[in-house]
């Protein structure tokens, strides 16, 4: 099984590609947002803590995010492989994940970094906005989210680059073209579908 991380700015097609990778490689796609919502919905102790933090408009702290991810990665479907989406976002989370995997005798095999042109993302998201009537996709808001993403993830990406496991993927083009680039990038590291 494989252990992967997918990283990409809003509008890069990350969610679409994550689902395809999970299906193709037979691993669960694990998004922190989904974990948060699931725990809130189920009323777990951690979920209640997340709900309180989110209701106050704050970011979920690393300690709580780490606890939720730790719990999720101990579920049967994720013991031998997974694709993480949206985690880790900070160096403290990277350290936690490294230690968690080391206790299992495992490590991340690759980080898929989706690269997009900001102007193209603006165009793409504004088109989606007009099709779906989303008010949160103004050009200013989109560009701000791109800047926040780059600021938040730069250190994490640099950390994994130093380890030599980042695969940069041009995320512009059709869904199938991007998926083919991801498969080729993984294959170049000796990672193939199960």
Catalytic: 123? no
- Which positions ≥6 away from 99 have C-beta within 8 Å? none
Average pLDDT over residues 63-80: 92
Q: Choose among 81, 105, 107: nearest CA to 160.
A: 107
The 29-31 sheet, strands edge to edge: 29-31, 82-85, 3-7, 110-115, 166-170
For residue 55, the model assigns a pLDDT of 80
For residue 146, the model assigns a pLDDT of 83
Given 41, 104, 134, 161, the catalytic residue: 134
- Judged against a pLDDT cut of 90, whether residue 179 lies above it is answered with yes
Span 13-51, pLDDT tens digits: 899 999 999 999 999 999 988 888 888 899 988 888 888
Given 3, 49, 72, 89, the catalytic residue: 89
Of 51-60, 65-74, 131-140, least confident by mean pLDDT is 131-140
- Judged against a pLDDT cut of 90, whether residue 83 lies above it is answered with yes
Catalytic: 51? no
Instruction: Give the CA count within 13 Å in the CB-facing half-sphere of 36.
Output: 20
Tokens representing 34 are: 């989904």
Catalytic: 163? no
Q: Can you tell me the distance from the alpha carbon of 68 to that of 34, in angstroms, rounded to the nearest whole number?
A: 11
* pLDDT mean across residues, the chain: 89
- Judged against a pLDDT cut of 80, whether residue 138 lies above it is answered with no
For residue 168, the model assigns a pLDDT of 97
- Judged against a pLDDT cut of 80, whether residue 88 lies above it is answered with yes
Q: Choose among 152, 153, 161: nearest CA to 110.
A: 161
Does the domain formed by 3-188 have CATH 3.40.109.10? Answer: no
Average pLDDT over residues 72-88: 93
Given 128, 161, 163, 189, the catalytic residue: 128
For residue 100, the model assigns a pLDDT of 95
Given 14, 72, 124, 181, the catalytic residue: 14
Determine how many CB atoms are found less than 10 A away from the CB of residue 2: 20
For residue 78, the model assigns a pLDDT of 94
Tokens representing 76 are: 């049967």
Give the angle subtended at the CA of 103 by the CAs of 42 and 86, to the nearest 5°: 45
Tokens representing 144 are: 């701000």
- Judged against a pLDDT cut of 80, whether residue 137 lies above it is answered with no
Instruction: Give 148's pLDDT tier (boundaries 50, 70, 90).
Output: confident
Do residues 88 and 96 make contact, with C-beta atoms less than 8 angstroms apart?
A: yes
- Judged against a pLDDT cut of 80, whether residue 77 lies above it is answered with yes
For residue 135, the model assigns a pLDDT of 64
Catalytic: 161? no
For residue 57, the model assigns a pLDDT of 75
Tokens representing 60 are: 């979920």
Average pLDDT over residues 158-175: 95
Instruction: Give 134's pLDDT tier (boundaries 50, 70, 90).
Output: low
């Amino acid at each position: 099984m494989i252990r992967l991380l997918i990283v990409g700015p809003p509008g890069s097609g990350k969610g679409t590609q994550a689902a395809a990778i999970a299906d193709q490689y037979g691993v669960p796609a694990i998004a922190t947002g989904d974990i948060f919502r699931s725990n809130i919905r189920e009323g777990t102790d951690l979920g209640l803590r997340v709900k309180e933090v989110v209701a106050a408009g704050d970011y979920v702290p690393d300690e709580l995010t780490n606890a939720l991810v730790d719990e999720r990665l101990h579920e049967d479907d994720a013991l031998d492989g997974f694709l993480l989406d949206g985690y880790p976002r900070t160096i403290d989370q990277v350290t936690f994940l490294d230690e968690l995997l080391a206790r299992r005798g495992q490590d991340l095999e690759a980080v898929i970094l989706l690269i997009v042109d900001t102007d193209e993302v603006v165009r793409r998201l504004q088109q989606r906005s007009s099709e779906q009537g989303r008010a949160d996709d103004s050009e200013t808001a989109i560009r701000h989210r791109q800047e926040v993403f780059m600021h938040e993830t730069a250190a994490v990406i640099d950390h994994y680059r130093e380890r030599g496991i980042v695969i940069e993927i041009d995320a512009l083009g059709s869904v199938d073209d991007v998926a083919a680039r991801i498969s080729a990038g993984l294959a170049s590291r000796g990672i193939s579908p199960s």
